[in-house]
Amino acid sequence: MLGSLKPQPADKILALMGEFRADPRKDKIDLGVGVYRNAEGVTPIMRAVKAAEKLLWESETTKTYTGLAGDPAFNAAMADLVLGEAAGAERIASVATPGGTGACRQAFELIRMAAPAATVWVSDPTWPNHLSMLRHLGVPMRPYRYFDADSRAVDFAAMMADLAQVRAGDVVLLHGCCHNPTGANLTLPEWQAVAELMERTGAIPMIDIAYQGFGDGLEEDAAGLRLLAARLPEMLIAASCSKNFGIYRERTGALIALCDPAPREVVQGTLAHLNRQNFSFPPDHGARLVTIILGDPALRADWQAELEEVRLGMLALRRQLAEALQEAAGSDRFGFIAQHRGMFSRLGATPEQVERLKREHGIYLVGDSRLNIAGLNARTVPILARAVVAVGI
């Protein structure tokens, strides 16, 4: 049986990480992997997380299972963090999941169960794992244009022209903020237009919000999502705690489904059923830490302060890189970097230029030229700028 298996395509980002580790050069720079790093190149444990871990260690009395949906307090805290007052509890069904990836996977499973003929519309480009999971599950999907390669901005007219073709019951996958891989986000008026299109067509939004707090602020980054939630009867939300709480390895996320109050119990039971089929009880340690932090005013304030430091630090790096590239290139063609938000931007390099950056300068980017801003620091910004110009980007 096992001898009949075919090799699976290598994950390009994981393969790039392996290449970087094997590179003996001392001055190499990793801008590929999507993990936040501080100026010292470390992914730190946030102060509030350390404090919550101590509180948990002192107070935890059991390691028995939580419910299939996870701890209700975690689900309530996440719904409040993401939705604010945009939807009442009577409309919310939610479960804890292994990270935002687990939430996306469960959402796709739910779509397949509820509407097997539905097409999931996905931005071009998007996070590659969206496409991989949809293909694996056999869920029909179609791309919609999103990013203009020349202006490095959202091509909203093209996006809306494509989405005008959606049918009632189709699902439109949107990035809540800090679009991965481009860093180009919708404006609030554009979110408003998307909401009107959804109302008109009967399509259902699915929001992947993996970077809340990394863009324009905790509340600002959820504004588009909340606008949709307040206007539309149904919505799916895949939320991750990996980035904004810095708990990558704890695999902490939530899937939230908004619906009319009447079917809410059935939806909640279906979400719990999907958890049971895929991994039974969700991991709890990270979820417990998030619940402690969000429920303690002092810890929450400290967490938000540190998250804001992270956000402002990435914005400063964006400005520094845009200025360094303007100086090195004698052109303002890289000004888009300062306008983008979150960890990522696309430089607009060809695969050959990305390969030259790696081979000649020890600078590792994903093949589509996605750049992790959080992998930079004050020392490496001018190095990258000079290398970008040297390879002709």
39 — pLDDT class (breaks 50, 70, 90): confident
User: What confidence tens digit (pLDDT) does each residue in 227-238 have?
Assistant: 999 999 999 999
Percent of residues in the chain assigned helix, strand, coil, to nearest 5: 50, 15, 35
User: What confidence tens digit (pLDDT) does each residue in 328-372 have?
Assistant: 999 999 999 999 999 999 999 999 999 999 999 999 999 899 999
SS3 151: coil
Model pLDDT, residue 230: 97
Q: Give first-to-last CA distance, the chain, whole Å.
A: 48
Backbone φ and ψ of 213, nearest 5°: 100, -10
Model pLDDT, residue 142: 98
* Distance of alpha carbon 280 from alpha carbon 67, whole angstroms: 9
Closest C-alpha among 163, 214, 209 to residue 190: 163
Does residue 313 surpass a pLDDT of 90? yes
Model pLDDT, residue 50: 98
Does residue 3 surpass a pLDDT of 90? yes
Sign of CA dihedral 276, 243, 237, 295: positive
Map out the domains of the chain with their CATH numbers. Answer: 11-44+303-390 (3.90.1150.10), 65-295 (3.40.640.10)
Question: How large a percentage of the chain has pLDDT more than 90?
Answer: 95
User: What confidence tens digit (pLDDT) does each residue in 252-309 have?
Assistant: 999 999 999 999 999 999 999 999 999 999 999 999 999 999 999 999 999 999 999 9
Catalytic positions are: 127, 208, 210, 243
User: What confidence tens digit (pLDDT) does each residue in 273-283 have?
Assistant: 999 999 999 99
10 — pLDDT class (breaks 50, 70, 90): confident
Task: Find out whether the peptide bond into 44 is cis, omega within 30 degrees of 0.
Answer: no
Mean pLDDT of 105-113: 98
User: What confidence tens digit (pLDDT) does each residue in 40-68 have?
Assistant: 889 999 999 999 999 999 999 999 999 99
